Amino acid sequence: MLNLGLRYLSIGFLFTFFFLGIANILYAQSNSIDWMSWEEMEQMMKKQKRKVLVDVYTDRCAWCKRMDATTFQNSSVIKIISRDYYAVKLNAEHKEDITFKDKIFKYTSYGNKGCHQLALEVTQGNLSFPTFVFMDENLDIIQPIPGYLDSETFEVISLYFSGNHHKSTPFQIFEESFRSSNKSGKNNSLKPVGNR
């Protein structure tokens, strides 16, 4: 009898650890942004259209690394990006060709330096690292935003574009409304609306 009880206890522990492990994996997946390549994003767009956030960066960019370590670890930012956007990392020094809207974009070398033509295209010729390019469901550029952004600023900007507020409300008014509703503990009026 004692041996049978130990067996059930062992099986119970195994199931408990198994389910805790699965829960931990699922929790970890929902606590990070699912960054993808340009090509992966285009495949996802064929299945379901969504707005796109492009993080234009370089491997040597300290502010880009800081964004990854701070802003992109913020739970509110993760939630908004995961819910409303396909998130793309685009290395401005990427050497492989990328086809976009029937045009082939290549890496162009300038002496010891260079950049990818697609990075120039989506930043509208204003290369700065990092730059965050917000695109609509048709992959048309809404706006590139250069520079490091703290999590609260990034959250406001992301909601502004994902909710299509940029079509009817000046950013300053939206931002003031967002910040005042956050101070009062109410943030219900700023949830994304419309076509996502």
pLDDT at 14: 47
pLDDT at 157: 97
Residues 6+ apart with CB under 8 A from 159: 80, 165, 178, 190, 191, 192
Burial of 64 (0-12, 13-18, 19+ CB in 10 A): buried
Average pLDDT, the chain: 85
Q: Give the helix, strand, coil percentages of the chain, each rounded to 5.
A: 50, 20, 30
Residue 88 has pLDDT above 50, yes or no: yes
pLDDT tens digit sequence for 114-132: 999 999 999 999 999 999 9
Q: Are 166 and 143 in contact (CB under 8 A)?
A: yes
Residues 6+ apart with CB under 8 A from 33: 72, 77, 78, 81, 82, 87
pLDDT at 182: 77
pLDDT at 128: 95
pLDDT at 29: 47
Strand runs (DSSP E) across the chain, as ranges? 35-36, 51-57, 85-91, 98-100, 103-105, 107-110, 113-116, 131-135, 141-146
Arithmetic mean of pLDDT, 143-170: 97
178's tokens: 């967002």
The rounded percent of the chain whose pLDDT value lies above 90 is 72
The rounded percent of the chain whose pLDDT value lies above 70 is 78
pLDDT at 195: 32
